Structure 1
C-alpha cells in the first residue's frame, strides 16, 4: 500500500482474530502499531510474535468501554511513536443472552451498547484530536453484516453495530474537511478462533456453498481492507461502509 510506511496506528481489539491479522499486515506494510485488548497478556504475546518478524509493535491492555483507557492508549502511541495516523476500532461482543427482542434483559442490552457502540465513540473522542494534530488520519470501525441482515436472534448486536455507521458518517462529515477519514468495515463470516469453535463442518460447508466467492472468509481478508483504508491509497474513501463477505450479502 502507498503511504503506510512509518505511519502510527492503534488497533483496539487486536489480541487475536481480525485484530491480530490486521496488526500483522500493517506492520508488514511498515506501520508502527499499538495493539490494545481487554486480554492484555494476549495482546503482548501477539505483539511479540509480530516483532519477531520485524514489526514495530507494542501490545498493551485496553478496556474499550472506559474513556480513560482509550485516552491512555492514544497517549501511548504519541509517546512511543510521535503521533497517531489511524485508529482501527475493532471491538465487538456481548452476544450472550441476546436472544430476541422480547426476551433480552436490560443488562444484556446495556452490555452490548457498551461494547459495540460506546467503545467506538470513546475511541473517536480519544483518537481524533491526536490525528488532527498530524493534519488528518483514518478512523476505521469494525461493524458487521448483521447491521444490514435481518435475523431472528441477536437484535441488540445488530442494533448496536448499525449505530457505528451513523457515527462514521458523522465523523466523516464533521472532520473530513480537516483531513479525517472515517469508514466502516462489515465482515461476513470470518474464520477466527472465536467463530470456529461454534460451527461444525456441515454448517461451514453450507455457508461456503452459498458464498459466491466459494470460500470461507479469513482474518487476512479484513486486514487487507483495513490496510487500504489506513493507507494513502484510501485517501478519497470517506463515510463508507464496506461489506467484506465474499458476496454472501450484496449491498450498495
Structure 2
C-alpha cells in the first residue's frame, strides 16, 4: 500500500513514520509513505499557500491553486482508492473505517491547517472526510499519522503475529481483554490460573467473558451494539468473574 500525505508542515510527520512498526513496514517493502510539502506548489516566490477568508473572520484558508496542483500531479501518476481530508467535521474514525481502507492500494490524505481548505477543493477532489475525535488540533498531520498507523498495521506481514490485529480492541465491537506476562506473581497479585492452564478452549472462553465485561463497564454503547448483533449470546454473559 502507498499513502501520500499532503501537508504544509512536513516535519511534523518525520517522527511517526521513522520508528517501530511503520518503519519496518516500509523497510520490508510492505508499505510506502510519501509526504508532500504543499509549499512546493505555492502560487508565488514568497511561498504563499493560504489567504484570508472571504466574509471576514479570523484565521487563514489554504488556497485552491496549490492544493489542486499537488493533487492533480499525484493523480496523474496513479489511481487512488480514496482521497481523504482530515477535518473536525468529518466522519469519526473507527476500526471499521481502518479495516475498509486497508483493502485499498493507494490512499491520499490532505491535512487541513489554519482554518482549513477552500471548500471547492472538498467538493471537487475529496472522496472521504475523516475526524479522529471531537476536538480541534492545529492541523491534520497528527490525524493523518493516526490513520496511517491504524491502516498499515492491518496489512499482511506488517505485524510479526498475523493474528495480532484480529484480537485488537474494536475489531468485533468489543474491547480487548486484560493481558499478563511474567512473573506469574507480583506484589500479591497472581495471573489468572486459566491463562496458565494451557487449555485453549477455556482460555478463549475466559478472554471472551473478560472482553464482554470490560466493554460493558467502559463502553456500554459498544456492548449494547454487540449484544444487539448477537442475540444468541445469553444476557448473563459478561458478568464479572
TM range (shorter): 0.3 to 0.5
Structure 1 or 2, whichever has the larger Rg, is: 2
Higher helix share: 1
TM-score normalised by the chain length of structure 2: 0.33
